[in-house]
């Protein structure tokens, strides 16, 4: 039987430990404990310095903590290890777009789509649409969100973006179409969806639906930002 080189065994063990710390980092973020998440992500990086997911995890945590310079350095290190990685390019592309660097962000998001192993193409298209909208390119945003729906039919995030955009534009028919599909496929509506339903019902003059969405928002999310916006007359 061929012996496994000691160095390969050590690398495998390091990656396994780094993977554990990486998962812990994301669990802490989800639990609203970014300080513990940063500690776990830093341990992941220290354990597996050539393990790209560890750098991505720490980049995400630093972005949550608005430590933008640190986040960017971690993103770039992840991409130095795996330049064509779809997830890394998608996440960094969105980070750049949210930082106002739309062209650089779009370049990385487009690169994410060129990775044949990337299984979340709809997410890259979604983020390209968000990036385009931030840059004032409304029609381009629509095209990207429609591409997201072609990649994953009935994708709730893309349906939501289209419903919001057309509601903001006062296009009741189009907004109603995408909002109706969102209701059909998204499951129980969250607070932002219910507030969108209120706004759309007002645009269409449907008092019954307006009161229904408003009542559900008050009942299910009494302390939410969306309920406060509704109370303030949005």
Domain count, the chain: 3
pLDDT value for 233: 74
Q: How far apart are CA 128 and CA 22, in angstroms?
A: 26
User: Which long-range contacts link 211-215 to residues 24+ away (Cβ below 8 Å)?
Assistant: none
For residue 58, report the phi and psi dihedrals to the nearest 5 degrees.
-70, -35
* One domain, residues 181 and 233: yes
The whole-angstrom separation of Cα 150 and Cα 128 is: 14
> Is there a single domain that holds both residue 102 and residue 129?
yes
pLDDT digits (tens, 9 = 90+) for 97-107: 999 999 999 99
**30/66 same-domain check:** yes
Q: Residue 45: inside a domain, yes or no?
A: yes
Task: Decide if 9 is inside a domain.
Answer: no
- pLDDT tens, per residue, the chain with 234 residues: 334 343 443 467 788 899 999 999 999 999 999 999 999 999 999 998 899 999 999 999 999 999 999 999 999 999 999 999 999 999 999 999 999 999 999 999 999 999 999 999 999 999 999 999 999 999 999 999 999 999 999 999 999 999 999 999 999 999 999 999 999 998 889 999 999 999 999 999 999 999 999 999 999 999 999 999 998 876
Q: Are residues 160 and 221 in the same domain?
A: yes
DSSP 16-77: HHHHHHHHHHHHHHHTT-HHHHHHHHHHHHHH-TT-HHHHHHHHHHHHHTT-HHHHHHHHHH
Last residue of a domain, one of 82, 111, 131: 82
| Domain of residue 221, residue span | 154-234
CATH number at residue 67: 1.25.40.10
- The confidence score (pLDDT) of residue 234 equals 65
Tell me the whole-structure pTM to 2 decimals. 0.87
Look at residue 4 in the predicted model and tell me its pLDDT.
39
**78 with 55: CB under 8 angstroms?**
yes
Q: Which tokens go with 2?
A: 């061929």
For residue 231, what pLDDT is reported?
Answer: 87
- Which tokens in the block code for residue 30? 């989800």
DSSP per position, 168-208: HHT-HHHHHHHHHHHHHHH-S--HHHHHHHHHHHHHHT-HH
CA distance 178 to 111: 28
């Amino acid at each position: 039987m061929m012996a496994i080189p000691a160095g390969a065994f050590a690398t495998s063990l390091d990656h396994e430990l780094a993977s554990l710390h990486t998962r812990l980092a994301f669990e802490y973020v989800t639990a609203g404990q970014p300080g513990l998440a940063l500690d776990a992500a830093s341990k992941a990086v220290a354990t597996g310095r050539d393990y790209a997911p560890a750098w991505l995890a720490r980049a995400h945590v630093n972005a949550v903590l608005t430590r933008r310079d640190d986040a960017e350095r971690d993103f770039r290190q992840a991409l130095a290890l795996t330049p064509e990685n779809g997830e890394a390019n998608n996440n960094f592309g969105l980070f750049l777009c949210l930082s106002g660097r739309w062209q650089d962000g779009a370049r990385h998001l487009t690169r994410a789509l060129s990775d044949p192993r990337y299984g979340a193409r709809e997410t890259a298209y979604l983020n390209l649409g968000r990036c385009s909208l931030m840059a004032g390119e409304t029609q381009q945003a629509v095209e990207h969100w429609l591409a997201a729906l072609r990649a994953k039919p009935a994708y709730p995030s893309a349906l939501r973006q289209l419903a919001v955009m057309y509601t903001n534009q006062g296009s009741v028919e189009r907004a109603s179409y995408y909002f109706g599909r969102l209701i059909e496929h998204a499951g129980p509506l969250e607070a932002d969806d219910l507030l969108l339903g209120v706004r759309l019902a007002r645009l269409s003059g449907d008092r019954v639906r307006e009161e229904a969405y408003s009542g559900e928002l008050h009942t299910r999310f009494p302390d939410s930002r969306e309920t406060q916006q509704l109370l303030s007359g949005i």
